[in-house]
Amino acid sequence: MSNTVVKCEKVEKTYQKDSVPVYALRGVDFEVNAGDFVSLSGPSGSGKSTLLNVIGGLDRPDSGEVTVDGVALSGLSESELTELRLRKMGFVFQAYNLIPVLSAQENVEFILQLQGVPQAERRERAEAALESLGLADMSHRQPGELSGGQQQRVAIARSIVSNPVLLLADEPTANLDSGTTEDLLGLLRRLNEQENMTIVTATHDPIVMSYTKRQVHLRDGAIERDALAA
């Protein structure tokens, strides 16, 4: 029996571009269960980012309901959504993941500081997260002193350090070469398999899809195919 972490029901989102409506999501029904590792793929403009943002509480659907870990997002105020993102979700973005004035370790601790975790515990958990991603040596470097792949790994460390119920990653490997991409995906797969972390990632990249357990294809704002890997 799998419990549902994300549930989208008839989610619609329309943008206005030069007063022409752009249908980003057209009534998407979508569920993610605990322990899933899902890739969202599809052509550019198909609605991958929009779906991730709606799930992550960064954007609100025009209609339909998104439920995360049992909480209906439509009922939350903006500050409650902020709190929910802080407590329940981990984010890895394509770029600009890290605060440039903080070291790698401080960036990881940042989330725990926002959560009010005491200093000693914070340090321990941040060190453990960096260590588990093979970043122990880099913990005192500033983001500017890290490669793109290392920065993304720090971002993953930051996103998992608070034990979120859900990790959302929008094109986390888009700026990386294929070798580094595979490294990073190996890490995500390990997190998923060993820690049972639920992960949803949007991607263009077939390599990414080959690593995920479940591949969801979008087209024109609707789910075209939803397949579990063999």
Partner 1 sequence: MSFKLVWQLSIRNILRHRRRNLMLFAAIAVAVTGVSSMNTLIRGMQYGMMDTAVENMTGHIKIHAPGYRDDPNIQKGFALDEDFEPPVPAEDMLGWAARIRIPAVIMSERETRGVQIVGVDPSAEAISFIGDVPIEGDGLESTDDGRILIGRELAIQLETEVGRRIVVITQGIDGRNREKGYRIVGTYDAEGTALEKMYVFTGLSSLQGLLDSEDVTEVSIRLVDEPKRLTFKQLLVGFFSELAVMDWLELEPMAAAMFIFADSVIYIWFALMMSALTFGLINTLITSVMERVKELGMVRALGMPKRMVLIQVVVESTIIMAVGVVIGLIGGYLVFLTIEDGINLGAFAEGMEMAGIASVLVPVLRWDDFILVAWLSLLLGILASLYPAWRAVKVQPLEAMRR
- List contacts with Mg ion (CB under 5 A): 49
Q: Looking at beta carbons only, is 83 or 226 nearer to ligand ATP?
A: 226
Q: Looking at beta carbons only, is 47 or 164 nearer to Mg ion?
A: 47
| Segment interacting with partner 1, rule: CB under 8 A, options 3-11, 25-33, 51-59, 182-190 | 51-59
Q: By C-alpha distance, which of 216, 206, 176, 208 is closest to 192?
A: 208
Residue 58's binding partner out of partner 1, Mg ion, ligand ATP, none, with CB under 5 to 8 Å set by partner kind:
partner 1
- Report the C-alpha gap between 161 and 90 in whole angstroms: 9
| Segment interacting with partner 1, rule: CB under 8 A, options 56-64, 183-191, 195-203, 220-228 | 56-64
- Report the C-alpha gap between 167 and 165 in whole angstroms: 7
Residue 101's binding partner out of Mg ion, ligand ATP, partner 1, none, with CB under 5 to 8 Å set by partner kind:
partner 1
Q: Bridge-partner residues for 217, per DSSP?
A: 41, 225
Q: Apex CA 57: angle with CA 65 and CA 118, to 5°?
A: 135
Whole-number Cα distances in Å, 174 to 170, 181, 217: 9, 8, 18
Collapse the DSSP code of 100 into the 3-class scheme (helix H, G, I; strand E, B; otherwise coil) and give the result: coil
Residue 15's binding partner out of ligand ATP, partner 1, Mg ion, none, with CB under 5 to 8 Å set by partner kind:
ligand ATP
H-only helix segments in 39-147: 48-55, 78-88, 104-115, 119-132
Residues in contact with ligand ATP, shown as a per-residue x/- string from 113 to 152 under the rule CB under 6 A: ----------------------------------------
CB 180 → partner 1: shortest distance, Å? 21
| Footprint of partner 1 on 89-108 (CB under 8 A) | 89, 91, 93, 96-97, 99-102, 106
- Does 212 contact ligand ATP by CB under 6 A? no
Q: Do you know the residue count of the chain?
A: 230
Q: Looking at beta carbons only, is 51 or 157 nearer to ligand ATP?
A: 51
- Report the C-alpha gap between 145 and 154 in whole angstroms: 12
Residues in contact with partner 1, shown as a per-residue x/- string from 60 to 89 under the rule CB under 8 A: -------------------x--xxxxxx-x
Q: By C-alpha distance, which of 152, 182, 183, 181 is closest to 167?
A: 152
- Does 139 contact partner 1 by CB under 8 A? no
Q: By C-alpha distance, which of 11, 16, 15 is closest to 24?
A: 15
Amino acid residing at 12: E
Residues in contact with ligand ATP by the rule CB under 6 A: 15, 17, 22, 24, 42, 44-50, 204
